[in-house]
Amino acid sequence: MPLLHSGGAVSRISAILSSGETGKFMKMTRYAIEIDRADLSRQEKVSLNLTAGEGEIIAEIELASITSNNITYAVMGGEPFNYWNFFPASDPARGIVPLWGYATISESRSPHVAEGSRLFGYWPSATHLKLLPGPAKSGGFTDLAPHRQGLAPVYNSYRPTPGITPETEPLIALFQPLYGTGFVLAQSLGSDIAAGRSILLTSASAKTALATAFNLQRAGGMAIGLTSAANRAFVENTGFYAQVLTYEELESLDPATPSVLVDFAGNGALKARIHRHLKSLSASHIVGDTDWAAPSDEPLEGPPPTLFFAPTHWADRIREIGQQAFDHELNSSMAAFLATTPHWLTVETHSGPKGYMDSFNRLLSNKLPPNIGLVWKP
């Protein structure tokens, strides 16, 4: 995953430290947070005992984002995405949710990575991770741990962080993976934009939806956001959507409008309403699962939904134009997006096991205001 090398003031970041965790406890204890796969609201702190073998390194995770993307990882942890397989839990009934963020190498027995190296990448909900680095490429490396082979390569890549400041780290952690998804998703809709189809985005306040809408707007697309009444003003304030409707207003759309659905919500009943109402719906894409508790077995009218798996599209685009060109176009686009955040985003920082559990459960229960971004320090 390419890194953005960009500055920008983030003076609005508020450090909100969760109570109940002392600095000494957090520094001395190695732990992971394991989650009940059958009940995502149940999390447990499990002690870690990691030792680096020959060729291995130990990374100390220092800051990571917690977003609706992580809820999607948990909801879709099994086949076909296999998110649970990246960081196996101590009990097969539990899983460890992957996070995006920063870590420093605290121990190295690898010729490829020096102690003290600071990296951006895909980490467990934990204080530490053991990796087996492959040969360095462009300053980064790929984890060659046997259990991660066969999984999406983009998640196994770790990159250095030159040019990233403490002020910009939280924003990069929050948006780097989500923005990349929105970026390639908008590119994949190029033919729909050219055909003049309206692109309907559910859960329009979600960060990946915002990134998608921003890129659709830059490409001349017609993005229509569907959101709750409570979030409508926020979504409108971003300025990314040509039109914003509440879920109750869905039927006010002209049924004959040529359109495409991009579903970030995962609400089965809502999806069925959209398919039933829009008679000229040409495609239906599933991207996220923010409303994970509202599935539906109701048969759908119109086109069958298809899963959008961003890593496949990243790989396709990189093969098409090359890694360097892809990094440049993504980073340039993301810099423009981050420049818009001061007027619509506040970052909160939470710490320790309690900070993680509280943050994850706020997202799980849909109790997080859309103008708040959560980052976690183990």
Give CA–CA dist 209/180, Å, rounded. Answer: 11
332: confidence class by pLDDT, cuts 50, 70, 90: very high
Which sequence spans correspond to the domains of the chain? 14-176+343-377, 178-311
Q: Give the pair of three-digit tokens for residue 155.
A: 């998640």
Element of type H or E holding 189: none
Low-confidence winner among 126-135, 221-230, 244-253, 328-337 (lowest mean pLDDT): 328-337
Return the CATH superfamily for domain 178-311. NAD(P)-binding Rossmann-like Domain (3.40.50.720)
Contact 256, 279 (CB under 8 A): yes
366: confidence class by pLDDT, cuts 50, 70, 90: confident
pLDDT of residue 298: 64
15-67 pLDDT per residue, tens = 333 334 434 333 448 999 999 999 999 999 999 999 999 999 999 999 999 99
Specify the CATH architecture of the domain 14-176+343-377.
Alpha-Beta Complex (3.90)
Give CA–CA dist 262/59, Å, rounded. Answer: 36
Alpha-carbon Rg of the chain, whole angstroms? 20
pLDDT of residue 348: 97
349-363 pLDDT per residue, tens = 999 999 999 999 999
Could you tell me which of 198, 285, 283, 209 has the C-alpha nearest to residue 240?
Answer: 209
Decide if pLDDT at 289 tops 90.
Answer: no
Q: Give the pair of three-digit tokens for residue 192.
A: 């729909």
Residue-by-residue DSSP string for 57-97: EEEEEEEEEE-HHHHHHHHT-STTT-GGGSS--SSTTEE--
pTM of the model: 0.79
